């Protein structure tokens, strides 16, 4: 997962989209956003800010209704959990990892890379 504090250049402005302010994450651990029709979650996980898809890869539950503990997001429907670092699903599940998106912090905002997502294969 790429979380950079490097400034975003003018050339990057079409690639990176501001999705919320850092202040909003200070008061709300999970923020929902939609970019190009894709539902995403922006999550404050301790000192880190991460972004992932909003829909659970299992049966499409809304992960914004789940909870985050110890670097994992827990699905509210069947309780699978996904690493916010790798996307890997918890043991016992045979579903793909959670897609995550590159994040940058700049100008007091959280920016998401719209042209790349990460999706590591494998399970824990
Ligand atoms: S819908 Fe998320 S674990 Fe089943």
- The CATH number for 54's domain is 2.102.10.10
pLDDT digits (tens, 9 = 90+) for 62-82: 999 999 999 999 999 999 999
| Sequence-distant (≥ 6) Cβ neighbours of residue 45 within 8 angstroms | 68, 71, 84
Q: How far is CA 66 from the centre of its chain?
A: 13
Q: Is the CB of 59 under 6 A from ligand 1?
A: yes
Judged on CB neighbours under 10 Å (0-12, 13-18, 19+), 72 is: buried
Residue 88, domain member (yes or no): yes
Q: What mean pLDDT comes out for the span 40-58? A: 95
Q: How many domains does the chain have?
A: 1
How far apart are the CA of 9 and the centre of ligand 1, in A?
39
Residue 118, domain member (yes or no): no
pLDDT-derived band at 21 (thresholds 50, 70, 90) equals very high
The model carries a pTM of 0.86
Residue 124, domain member (yes or no): no
What is the structure's pLDDT at 10? 59
What is the structure's pLDDT at 37? 87
Going 86 to 87 to 88 to 94, the CA torsion angle's sign is negative
Q: Range of 63's domain?
A: 3-112
How far apart are the CA of 57 and the centre of ligand 1, in A?
7
Judged on CB neighbours under 10 Å (0-12, 13-18, 19+), 60 is: exposed
What is the structure's pLDDT at 11? 62
Residue 16, domain member (yes or no): yes
Residue 39, domain member (yes or no): yes
């Amino acid at each position: 997962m790429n979380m950079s504090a490097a400034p975003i250049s003018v050339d990057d402005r079409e690639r990176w989209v501001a999705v919320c302010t850092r202040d909003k994450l200070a008061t709300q651990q999970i923020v929902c956003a939609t970019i190009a029709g894709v539902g995403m979650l922006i999550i404050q996980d301790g000192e880190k800010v991460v972004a992932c898809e909003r829909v659970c890869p299992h049966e499409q539950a809304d992960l914004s209704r789940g909870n985050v503990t110890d670097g994992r997001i827990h699905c509210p429907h069947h309780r699978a959990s996904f690493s916010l670092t790798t996307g890997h699903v918890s043991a016992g599940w045979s579903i793909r990892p959670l897609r995550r998106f590159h994040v940058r912090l700049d100008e007091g905002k959280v920016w998401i890379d719209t042209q790349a997502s990460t999706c590591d294969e494998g399970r824990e």
